[in-house]
Structure 1
Amino acid sequence: MRWEDLFADLELQWEANEAAELAAELADRSRREAAYLRLIDRLRPVVGHPARCRVLGGQRAPETLHGTLSALGVDWFLLAEPGATEVLVPMRSLLAVENLPVVSAQPGHEGPLAAKLDLRYVLRGLVRDRSVCTLLFVDGTSLHGTPVRVGADFLEVAEHAVGEFARRGRVRSGWTMPLDAIAYVRRVP
């Protein structure tokens, strides 16, 4: 064996060892970085794209919603369904999202304004607009009406018939519910 062959063999072994160590370090670093990702970071790249989600509240089973993920907050997302309906889903009702892309947004980069736009803020918008909605509860029951007030941890809804508005004489009942009881809110077009 010549000295050059020995040195070449040792150099190849050294390079292979270095490449294996680098690959192990990159894999370990990727696992550590993934530990800092939140669900909102996984969902942010999907805003503006079709999404299929399983949520609480279906009759004895989770319900599947599909549409375009049109907006995202710290504890909610908005799904634009085919047919011009919008569904506001609290994150706590989300069970799974199908086929998210591999890429994620940087953790914690939603900005200070987005952090303030929580579920209560969006529900106050429905109250302000006097939007007619159908609310699905986590137990699978539903309520049709108009949200009238949002508290720190509750929502009040004036129940009325489908196709009616919350006017004197048309309101059947007033309901107050904890926000945690809401599986999703579908805005009626």
Structure 2
Amino acid sequence: MRWDGLFADLEAQLAHGRWQDTEAEAAELTRGERASVALADRLRGALGAPLTVLLIDGQRLQLSVSTVGSSWVGGSDRTGSLVLNLDAVAAIDSPLPVTAPQDSPGRRNLGVGFLYRSLSRARAGVVVSGLEGRVLGEGTIDRVGLDHLDLAVHPRDEQRRGRNVRGLRVIPYGAIHLVRSAHASSV
């Protein structure tokens, strides 16, 4: 009879040990899963939400997220529409979902070149900012390459016409941190 109690106690200890192993394994799987979630994926889960974003140049944006690509986020702030290179983000002072809803692979992998080509087709006036918040140019995106764009430089309040264009500036994507709608960028 005493052996029955001993065996029952051993079984209980083994069951408890297996449960602890299962809990530890689940925790490790959760950590591993979270390690595979990119910032863009978390931002995708914040579509429509207001975010406070601190840029590496010290600017603080109050941004409402409308779309997210593989390396950029599009949205608006109090001055209008903008596209932000994720490399320009120093911190986000807003809670983000730990995981984001699944998105189509094509949409999830949209590079910033796709977006710049869309702005070029629309002949949208833009103000392009780089490191330290410096304006790299204002005008209209004429051509978009694999890793750079050609900006027809003209005043933001003028249409892209031959007589208004002051020059052509080639800007590598890596130098671009923020692109704003020219008509809303007069602040």
The match for 1:66 is: 62
Q: Which deviates more from structure 2 when the two are superposed, residues 146-155 or residues 157-166?
A: 157-166
> Distance in 2 between the 1:111 and 1:102 partners?
18
Q: Please give the TM-score of this superposition, normalised by the length of structure 1.
A: 0.81
1:5 to partner: Cα distance: 7.5
Amino acid in the other structure paired with 1:129: A
8 Å contact kept, 1:90–1:183: yes
Q: Secondary structure at the match of 1:80?
A: strand
Residue in structure 2 matching 1:127, options 95, 120, 123: 120
String of CA shifts for 1:98-128, please: whole Å, max 9, x gaps.
233343026xx43232155311111011111
Residue in structure 2 matching 1:183, options 172, 177, 182: 177
> Distance in 2 between the 1:101 and 1:73 partners?
16
* Alpha carbons of structure 1 residues 101 and 15: separation in structure 2 relative to 1, 3 Å: farther
> Distance in 2 between the 1:14 and 1:153 partners?
59
1:81 to partner: Cα distance: 1.1
String of CA shifts for 1:54-96, please: whole Å, max 9, x gaps.
223x3xxx3222221100111211021135x111012222222
1:16 to partner: Cα distance: 4.1
Amino acid in the other structure paired with 2:169: W
> Distance in 1 between the 2:108 and 2:13 partners?
51
String of CA shifts for 1:8-48, please: whole Å, max 9, x gaps.
76666455434432322221111122222222222221012
The match for 1:33 is: 33
* Alpha carbons of structure 1 residues 102 and 141: separation in structure 2 relative to 1, 3 Å: closer
Which 5+ residue runs of structure 2 have no aligned equivalent?
none
Residue in structure 2 matching 1:111, options 104, 108, 114: 104
8 Å contact kept, 2:127–2:156: no
* Alpha carbons of structure 1 residues 27 and 94: separation in structure 2 relative to 1, 3 Å: same
Question: Please, what is the CA RMSD of the aligned residues?
Answer: 2.5
Quick one: percent identity of the two aligned structures? 30
Which 5+ residue runs of structure 1 have no aligned equivalent?
none
8 Å contact kept, 2:138–2:182: no
Q: Please give the TM-score of this superposition, normalised by the length of structure 2.
A: 0.82
Amino acid in the other structure paired with 2:150: E
8 Å contact kept, 2:68–2:108: no
* Alpha carbons of structure 1 residues 63 and 145: separation in structure 2 relative to 1, 3 Å: same
* Alpha carbons of structure 1 residues 89 and 21: separation in structure 2 relative to 1, 3 Å: same
The match for 2:74 is: 78
Q: Secondary structure at the match of 2:45?
A: helix
Q: Secondary structure at the match of 2:140?
A: strand
